[in-house]
């Protein structure tokens, strides 16, 4: 799994938060913090990626993630190319052929989202040396920049991770966000990570990733500092996984009342897009506990940080300054 690290232990791709040293995870957050000032200033760009080409290669539709990657690249002065691939119309061309063609356009970095777990790692193993791959979501496996922007947002509001209890609620089984959060928060030393879901939405042996498993929402939220609701895709609400969205909301939907058992200053997060009234009540999503819009803003800084780190041009990077 070290395909994302070079011999010095530095990021050369960013594929997963699993197995990363705490120092490296912290450095991503620190680098992002140095960029978050950039966003607030009137001059919003820095020239760190001037002359570099970033290709956003999205095999799954996305608005928020693709947009924030694009903004991040532009604020680093990179040239950005967005490629949306409809896999139903490109059956003839293999992934590798497509990759080789895009590489021939002198890309320095691919930002890849794909419906299949392991797709980003597959690309990373096949790109030319010096070309970086950022995983913008692969199947149920990983969405590492989302997890890091969540960690950034938590640190912004709560400080150190060690005393924190964090609950992740909802469709854990199909969630690449949850898996990446679990690895990132564990790597950053979070006190306790809980997952709360009905058994049909929990993958086998999820406890092996280092979480406490709860079926009951009130018990799962007791004394937690951070509550993260996951998106429940509508196509999963019928059929054998769940009887319907009303029953799901009744037992697992987040409301102000359900947060009674949580820490009084608990914050509420959601990776978006929100299904209001399914996994979270509107009053809570728009209320004072919610940091959902902070997550979106922080996404830009975190992606800027990772983009500069994988190309070795991060502001605090010794290779860049020597």
Which positions lie near another protein, rule CB under 8 A? 1, 3, 18, 94-96, 114, 116-119, 121-122, 138-142, 176, 179, 203-206, 208-209
Nearer to another protein, 174 or 303 (CB): 174
d(CA 242, CA 186): 29
3: helix, strand or coil: helix
- The backbone torsions φ and ψ at residue 102, rounded to the nearest 5 degrees and listed phi first, read -70, -35
Measured from the CB atom, the residue of 141 and 303 that comes closer to another protein is 141
Q: Whats the size of the chain, residue-wise?
A: 322
Q: Which is nearer to another protein, 142 or 237 (CB)?
A: 142
Minimum distance, C-beta of residue 174 to another protein, in the bound complex (Å): 9
The helix/strand/coil state of 236 is helix
Cβ(136)–Cβ(69) below 8 Å: yes
Q: Which is nearer to another protein, 57 or 95 (CB)?
A: 95
| 292-310 vs 64-75: helix crossing angle, rounded to 10 | 50
Integer Cα distance of 196 and 113 in angstroms? 26
Query: Which pair of structure tokens corresponds to residue 223?
Result: 């004394």
Question: How many angstroms separate the Cα of 258 from the Cα of each of 211, 238, 271, 296?
Answer: 21, 24, 20, 25
- Helical ranges in 188-314 per DSSP H: 217-221, 245-252, 282-285, 292-310
Smallest distance from another protein to CB 320, Å: 30
Rounded Cα–Cα distance for residues 317 and 70 (Å): 23
Helix 176-187 vs helix 22-40: crossing angle, to nearest 10 = 110
Q: How far is the CB of 177 from another protein (least distance, A)?
A: 11
Nearer to another protein, 7 or 205 (CB): 205
Cβ-based nearer residue to another protein, 137 or 272: 137
SS3 239: coil
Q: How far is the CB of 116 from another protein (least distance, A)?
A: 4
Q: What minimum distance in Å lies between the beta carbon of 95 and another protein?
A: 6
- The least distance separating another protein from the CB of residue 135, rounded to whole angstroms, comes to 11
Nearer to another protein by C-beta: 50 or 125?
Answer: 125
Q: Tokens standing for 246?
A: 């009303």
By C-beta, is 176 or 231 nearer to another protein? 176
Least distance in angstroms from the C-beta of 205 to another protein: 4
């Amino acid at each position: 799994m070290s395909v994302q690290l070079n011999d010095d232990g530095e990021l050369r791709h960013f594929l997963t938060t699993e197995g990363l040293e705490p120092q490296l995870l912290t450095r991503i957050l620190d680098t992002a913090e140095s960029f978050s000032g950039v966003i607030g200033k009137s001059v919003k760009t820095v020239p760190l990626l001037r002359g570099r080409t970033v290709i956003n290669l999205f095999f799954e539709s996305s608005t928020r993630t693709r947009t924030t990657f694009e903004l991040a690249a532009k604020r680093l002065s990179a040239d950005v190319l967005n490629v949306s691939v409809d896999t139903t119309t490109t059956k003839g061309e293999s992934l590798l052929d497509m990759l080789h063609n895009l590489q021939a356009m002198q890309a320095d970095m691919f930002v890849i989202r794909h419906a299949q777990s392991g797709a980003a790692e597959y690309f990373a193993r096949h790109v030319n040396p010096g070309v970086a791959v950022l995983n913008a979501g692969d199947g149920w496996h990983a969405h590492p920049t989302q997890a890091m922007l969540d960690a950034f947002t938590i640190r912004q509001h709560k400080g150190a991770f060690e005393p924190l209890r964090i609950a992740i609620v909802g469709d854990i089984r199909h969630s690449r966000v949850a898996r990446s959060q679990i690895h990132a928060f564990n790597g950053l030393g979070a006190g306790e990570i809980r997952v709360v879901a009905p058994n049909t939405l929990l993958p086998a042996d999820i406890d092996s990733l280092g979480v406490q498993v709860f079926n009951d929402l009130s018990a799962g939220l007791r004394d937690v500092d951070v509550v993260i609701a996951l998106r429940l895709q509508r196509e999963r609400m019928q059929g054998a996984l769940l009887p319907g969205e009303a029953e799901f909301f009744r037992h697992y939907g987040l409301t102000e009342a359900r947060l009674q058992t949580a820490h009084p200053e608990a914050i509420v997060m959601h990776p978006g897009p929100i299904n209001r009234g399914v996994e979270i009540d509107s009053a809570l999503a728009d209320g004072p506990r919610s940091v959902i819009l902070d997550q979106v803003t922080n996404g830009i800084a975190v992606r800027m940080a990772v983009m500069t780190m994988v190309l070795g041009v991060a502001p605090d990077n010794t290779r860049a300054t020597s």
